[in-house]
């Protein structure tokens, strides 16, 4: 049986996504050490600004916003609720959860000076804990899940949404909480999750 054009399109998009993801994480990995060293010298906790940017990766913030969207769209029925609030809620929860699972599988620890090599946690040590593990950044995954959803729902403000995600990513680099490839990995993971959920939403219409 010959696959339908739609299936070919799905596989092609998946192949492109994986190729771009691998390339982006690879390039970011090359820059991990110089970015970490730069962060030590030039970036720091900037008080309220740092806290504001970091909050973009805080899951409860987006859960509240998703509930607000759902309440606004409730008069349009279940389809209306899913169109914004449901998609946003599912995207941030799935992205954040997948990031935590991947951390426990990859087991790469967060930056430790002098950044000469990556450190991986042994499997027998805190097997089911993601504390202290870095790839991918769950804050970045949550923030960019919200960013990609908002870019789809309200594209005229895409520049602003992306700046919010980028700001969250910078906040994770500012105190060397993550490598650059950690936050890039989180953003790419979130993009895949949002594309998957959004396509399911569109196919169910």
Among residues 49, 50, 34, which one has the least CA distance to residue 175?
Answer: 50
pLDDT digits (tens, 9 = 90+) for 14-60: 899 999 999 999 999 999 999 988 887 766 656 788 888 899 999 99
CATH number at residue 25: 1.20.144
pLDDT digits (tens, 9 = 90+) for 103-155: 999 999 999 887 778 999 999 998 899 999 999 999 999 999 999 999 999 99
What pTM did the predictor assign? 0.89
Which of 32-46, 74-88, 167-181, 188-202 has the weakest average pLDDT?
32-46
In this structure, how many other beta carbons lie within 10 angstroms of the beta carbon of residue 133?
A: 23
CB 80 within 8 A of CB 69: no
**Percent of the residues in the chain that have a pLDDT greater than 90, as a whole number:** 65
Query: To 10 degrees, the CA torsion angle through 118, 94, 89, 87?
Result: 110
In this structure, how many other beta carbons lie within 10 angstroms of the beta carbon of residue 138?
A: 26
Alpha-carbon distances of 102 from 68, 93, 184, 195, rounded to whole Å: 30, 14, 14, 19
Dihedral over Cα of 150, 154, 181, 113: its sign: negative
Alpha-carbon distances of 96 from 9, 91, 183, rounded to whole Å: 27, 8, 12
pLDDT band at 201 (very low <50, low <70, confident <90, very high): low
Structural domain that includes position 185: 5-203
Number of domains in the chain: 1
For residue 8, the model assigns a pLDDT of: 62
CB 185 within 8 A of CB 137: yes
């Amino acid at each position: 049986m010959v696959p339908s054009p739609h299936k070919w399109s799905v596989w092609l998009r998946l192949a492109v996504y994986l190729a771009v993801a691998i390339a982006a994480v690879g390039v970011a990995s090359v820059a991990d050490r110089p970015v970490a060293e730069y962060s030590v010298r030039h970036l720091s906790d900037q008080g309220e600004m740092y806290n504001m940017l970091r909050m973009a990766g805080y899951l409860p913030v987006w859960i509240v916003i998703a509930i607000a969207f759902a309440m606004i769209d409730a008069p349009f029925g279940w389809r209306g609720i899913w169109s914004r609030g449901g998609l946003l809620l599912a995207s941030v929860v799935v992205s954040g959860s997948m990031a935590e699972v991947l951390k426990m599988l990859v087991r790469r620890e967060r930056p430790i000076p002098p950044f000469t090599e990556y450190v991986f946690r042994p499997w027998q040590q805190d097997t089911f804990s993601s504390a202290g593990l870095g790839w991918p950044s769950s804050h970045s995954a949550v923030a960019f899940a919200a960013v990609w959803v908002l870019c789809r729902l309200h594209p005229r403000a895409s520049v602003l949404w992306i700046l919010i995600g980028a700001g969250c990513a910078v906040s994770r680099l500012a105190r060397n909480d993550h490598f650059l490839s950690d936050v890039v990995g989180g953003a790419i993971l979130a993009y895949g999750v949002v594309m998957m959920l959004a396509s399911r939403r569109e196919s169910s219409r």
